[in-house]
């Protein structure tokens, strides 16, 4: 399989039709080898537009969903980014290719964000039931956050901006994004 051809086909057949329009995002997704970030047995599927299992209950976000989130974040060289649920490292590699200073963590912000550093943008690399306030607190004023938010079994891509310590989220589009287990709400007792 020619991965360069598959990468170009991903851009023209998946990203552009899904409103991925940010030039730097398209350039990064056209240059970073996605196949180097998937398990060996899944390399043939690296450019398919569906989640790819990474093991331990984690999946890699489909290219169109990730591209749309990154495009909506509008990353700029020199900004500081936090990737939460870093998984394969692909999202962080894309942001680094655009010229951002990237910090990656695997777990929930409640567990791993003891840093005092603040970020211009945060990407939660998977679907979540909620966005914890400690994560919002890591954004600079006006900082952006993007993720897929689960609502009654449906994952919706969302983007938000931090204003006075609060995060307002705007829904972009529904997408097939696998959940991040560390961001599931505890099951409540029901009758």
Centre a 10 Å sphere on the Cβ of residue 181 and count the other Cβ atoms it contains. Answer: 14
Q: Is the pTM of this model over 0.75?
A: yes
Q: Please check whether residue 30 is in contact with residue 7, taking contact to mean a CB–CB distance below 8 angstroms.
A: yes
* Domain boundaries along the sequence of the chain: 3-183
Model confidence over 7-49: pLDDT tens digits? 999 999 999 999 999 999 999 999 999 999 999 988 999 999 9
The per-residue pLDDT for 110 is 52
Please identify every stretch of the chain with a pLDDT value under 50, giving residue numbers as ranges: 111-112
The per-residue pLDDT for 188 is 62
The per-residue pLDDT for 62 is 94
In whole angstroms, give the CA distance from residue 143 to residue 120.
Answer: 5
Going by C-alpha positions, the residue among 121, 84, 80 that lies closest to residue 102 is: 80
- Whole-number Cα distances in Å, 21 to 72, 73, 159, 160: 9, 11, 16, 18
The per-residue pLDDT for 108 is 55
Q: Which fold has domain 3-183?
A: Rossmann fold (3.40.50)
Q: Which two tokens stand for residue 163?
A: 């204003």
């Amino acid at each position: 399989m020619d991965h360069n051809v598959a990468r170009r086909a991903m851009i023209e057949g998946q990203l552009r039709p899904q409103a991925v329009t940010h030039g730097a995002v398209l350039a990064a997704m056209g240059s970073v080898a996605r196949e180097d970030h998937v398990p060996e047995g899944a390399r043939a599927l690296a450019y398919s537009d569906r989640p790819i299992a990474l093991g331990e209950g984690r999946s890699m976000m489909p290219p169109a969903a990730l591209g749309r989130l990154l495009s909506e974040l509008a990353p700029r060289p020199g900004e500081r980014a936090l990737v939460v649920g870093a998984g394969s490292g692909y999202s962080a590699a894309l942001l680094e290719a655009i010229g951002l200073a990237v910090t990656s963590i695997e777990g929930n912000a409640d567990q791993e964000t003891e840093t005092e550093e603040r970020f211009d943008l945060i990407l939660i690399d998977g679907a979540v039931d909620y966005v914890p306030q400690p994560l919002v607190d890591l954004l600079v004023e006006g900082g952006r956050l993007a993720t897929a938010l689960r609502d009654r079994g449906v994952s919706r891509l969302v983007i938000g901006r931090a204003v006075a310590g609060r995060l307002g989220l705007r829904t972009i589009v529904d997408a097939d994004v696998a959940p991040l287990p560390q961001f599931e709400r505890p099951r409540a007792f029901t009758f």
